[in-house]
Chains A and B, each alone.
Chain A
Amino acid sequence: MAIDTKIAASGVGLTQSAGPRKINLAGGKGEESFADMVASAAKDAVATGHKGEGTSMQGIAKQADLVDVVTAVSNAELTLQTVVTVRDRVIQAYQDIIRMPI
């Protein structure tokens, strides 16, 4: 559950940070495709998180092998780390632009 909400939050953060960027930077096509890329990465992350959770639940119900649970959960963990790091980086870049003296 926690993984889900964190990924969802990171997804929201990404789209919010990507939205103003388009307007600020006069909506270049490169920006748009970057936002798309980030959005699809976030979707993949959510899917991986769901898979990890589903396998964990099956593992608790003794329907899945422990090895499957471990691989699914560590995959979800790695994807979450990647998404969170990229999001932090994007937000940091955005904040740097905001703080820039005009």
Chain B
Amino acid sequence: MVELIKASKISASGLKAQAERLRVISENLANAGSTAKVQGQDPYRRKLVTFANELDRALGARTVKVRQVTQDKSEFIKRFDPGHPAADKDGYVLTPNVNPLIELADLREAQRSYEANLSAIEISKSMVQRTVELLRS
């Protein structure tokens, strides 16, 4: 019984971590077109999430958490747009290093992982309930 309740708590930490990941992905997607205000400044830089396991002493198990939100160091994408306020002397504008396709794939992965954790919680809960059911009848 205690183990099953612990299992649902570990899965809950997974839910939280994936929720934070979703937040960062939506930040990237929403800012996919955020350029700099004037020439010379950087546009929005893509953010990345890394996870870490953490020993929860009360639970006696390793839960997951977001280690840190880092920045993607890759090059910005150059686009020809001479009328843009942030365009350089050749007419090129730096746009964020966000690829919406990659973000959508990450989004889907976060969704699947969240669903997996949800299923684990559901299963451990129903196992506790079924064990209790044995006493009835």
Do the beta carbons of A68 and B132 come within 8 Å of each other? no
**Is residue B125 within 8 Å, beta carbon to beta carbon, of the partner chain?**
yes
A65 within 8 A of B: yes
Q: Is the CB of B132 within 8 A of A82?
A: yes
Nearest Cβ on chain B to A27's Cβ, whole angstroms: 26
Question: Which residues of B lie under 8 Å from residue A85 when comparing CB positions?
Answer: 132, 135-136
| Chain A residues in 8 Å Cβ range of B125 | 74, 78
* Interchain CB contact (< 8 A) of A81 among B8, B16, B132: B132
Partner of B12, one of A71, A82, A89: A71
Q: Does A86 lie at the interface of the complex (its beta carbon under 8 Å from any beta carbon of B)?
A: yes
Using known A-B contacts A65-B16, A78-B128, A81-B129, determine if residue A71 contacts B136 with beta carbons closer than 8 Å.
Answer: no
Chain B residue numbers with a CB within 8 Å of A86 are 135
Q: Give the docked Cα–Cα distance between A86 and B1 (Å).
A: 14
Whether A75 contacts B15 by the Cβ 8 Å rule is no
Residues of chain B within 8 A of A70, CB atoms compared: 12
Choose among B5, B15, B129, B136 the residue that contacts A67 (Cβ–Cβ < 8 A).
Answer: B15
Q: Is B29 an interface residue when CB atoms closer than 8 A count as contact?
A: no
Classify chain A: how many residues form its interface, as a range. Answer: 10 to 19
Interface SS of chain B: helix
Q: Which residues of B contact A78 (CB under 8 A)?
A: 5, 125, 128-129, 132
Cβ B132 vs Cβ A67 within 8 A: no
CB distance from A40 to the nearest CB of B (A): 14
Tell me the smallest distance from the CB of B52 to a CB of chain A, in Å.
Answer: 18
Mask of A63-88 contacts with B, CB within 8 angstroms, 1/0: 00101101100110010011001101
What distance in Å separates the Cβ of B14 from its nearest Cβ neighbour in chain A? 10
- Bound complex: CA A82 to CA B134 (Å): 11
Encode B95-137 as 1/0 by CB contact (under 8 A) with A. Answer: 0000000000000000000000000010001001100100110
Q: Could you list 18 A-B pairs, sorted by A, with CB under 8 Å?
A: A67-B12, A67-B15, A67-B19, A71-B8, A71-B9, A71-B12, A71-B121, A74-B8, A74-B125, A78-B5, A78-B129, A81-B129, A82-B128, A85-B132, A85-B136, A86-B135, A88-B136, A89-B135
